[in-house]
Structure formats: C-alpha cells, structure tokens
Amino acid sequence: MFNGSRGRLARLIALPLAAVLGSLAIGAAPAHASWTNTCDDWQSLFYGGKYQTINSKWGHTLNGWGTGWQCVGRDTDNTTNGWQADLSWSNSSSVEWDEYHIKAFPSTVVGWQWGYASPDHGGLPVHLWENKNVWTNWTWQNQLTDQKSDAIYDLWLDWSDNPSGQPTDEVMIFLDYTEGAHPETDKVATVALAGANWDVYRSADSWQVISFVRTATTTSVSLNLRDFLDYSVGAGWLDTNKYLISVQAGFEVWRGTGKYITTDYNVSIS
C-alpha cells in the first residue's frame, strides 16, 4: 500500500495562505500571554520573517481519513523558532485500509507553498546550478503514544520559480520514523551522506519523489540539504535548471496522541 507519492497531491491542493496569530488555545497549550496557536485546518503561524507553521490535517480534511483533532502553537517569546503540534489521530473503522493513510502533516515552511506567504522568502527560490548551501538545524521531541509517524524534510522543486500547480519534484529526507512510516519499495541505493547512512528510494507518478531514509533514526540534525540535492543531480534525477522553491519540515501522522515539540529550527541559504 505504501508508494512514493503516498497521496501527497491531495495535501497540496488549494492550501490557503491565511495566518492566524494571537488566537486563544482550544486544545492543550501553555497558559501564558506569549502563547499563540490555531486549531483550524490549513491555518498558519508566521514568525522570524520567513517561517510559516501550517496546521495541515490534509488527509482527514480532504479525504475523510481517520478521526481526531490537531492544533499548532508557539511561544512568541521563543528565539529559536520553536513550535509544537498537539494532536490525537486514530484510524476510522468506516474507511477501508485507513491504517495506511496519513491523516495530517503539521509542518514549517520556508519559501513556496502554493505561492509565497511572506515578503521574506528565506533566500528562495534558487536555481540548482547556483550551488547554494541550504544550511539547517532541527531538534525535536516525539511525545506521541500508540503512534505511527515520522519526522521529515520535504524539499520541493520545479521548472518555475513560482508554480501555480503541483511541483515536478519532491525530495524527502526521513530522519525519525516508526515501523511502516517510510518508503519500503523502489529502493535504488544505500549511500553515505551528511555523516550518516541513507537508503534511497525513487518513484514517479504524477511527479518524481526521491526519498532518503536515515538508517539510524535521530531527533536532532545539523545538515546542508545541498548534499541531498547534489546527489540527486549526480544520479541524473534532477536538472540543475530547476528551482529549489521550498524547504518544509514536519511530522506526518498516521495515528498517535500527544505532542511533537520542535525546540530549535533554522534554515539559511548562502
């Protein structure tokens, strides 16, 4: 049932760019004045000039998968771009094969996400031939129980610097995952990159998906994402005339209850 695209076209369709700032907590959230959150689907928190945290419940909202709820929030006094997702998702007994469906993808975006949400695009878009470094660090805590989930980077690429539809390429970097929450077919290589070993998967449906799955999971990284793009170019999978338009990082959830807490996050193009 697992394939490279895993229904990601659905979670990209018609994403509004509205921000919800300063809303009162509906779910569990710290009770202090500097906390802001949203529990509404597709709504966003903007901060740091270039970061957009999106409360995406795409699988549930667009396809009716699963039952549950989800909120994203952050402390506006936080100086390390931290944020968290409070959630509870379970499989629906009325949906066939629902255990294989991703219910939600709370995530933070720099750059494109059906347009550019803020004047500061974080240095994006950039042509691959520019050979820009894409530095990032990310530290998080997984506090979910009874879970099937992962923590990933999602890099989006296209011939256009501002595509109006589905981008042509998706490069996924799996850092932490539970059983079944990563590609298991179409493996093409195992490589050493960025101080770790990665199983590499490649598939193409309506767009190309290249997946790097870290063989030893982690909850803290400091990476140059260019390493993964350069490998894909060298393998002949990506054209250097394409643009890197978006760096997205977040948590895909099939099921689970609790919190995902990002304590430190940064993306810098140089």
Whole-model pTM: value is 0.89
pLDDT for 129 beyond 90: yes
Domain contains 1: no
Asked if the structure places residue 3 within a domain, the reply is: no
Q: Where are the alpha helices (DSSP H) in the chain?
A: 8-12, 58-63, 226-234
The answer to whether residue 8 scores a pLDDT higher than 90 is no
- Is position 239 within any domain? yes
- 187 falls within a domain: yes
Task: Output the CA torsion 171→176→182→187 (10° steps).
Answer: 70
- 188: CATH: 2.60.120.180
Residue 3, pLDDT score? 38
Give pLDDT tens digits for 214-247: 999 999 999 999 999 999 999 999 999 999 999 9
Query: What is the residue range of 250's domain?
Result: 8-269
**Domains contained in the chain, number:** 1
Any domain includes 121: yes
Residues 6+ apart with CB under 8 A from 250: 54, 56, 85, 105, 106, 107, 108, 151, 152, 154
Examine residue 82 and state whether it is found in any structural domain, yes or no.
yes
Residue 106 lies in a domain: yes
Name residue 244's beta-bridge partners.
Answer: 126, 157
| 198: in domain | yes
Of 80, 145, 129, 132, which is closest to residue 242 (Cα–Cα)? 129
Q: Which residues pair with 87 in a beta bridge?
A: 70, 258
Give the pLDDT confidence of 246-262 residue by residue, as tens digits.
999 999 999 999 999 99
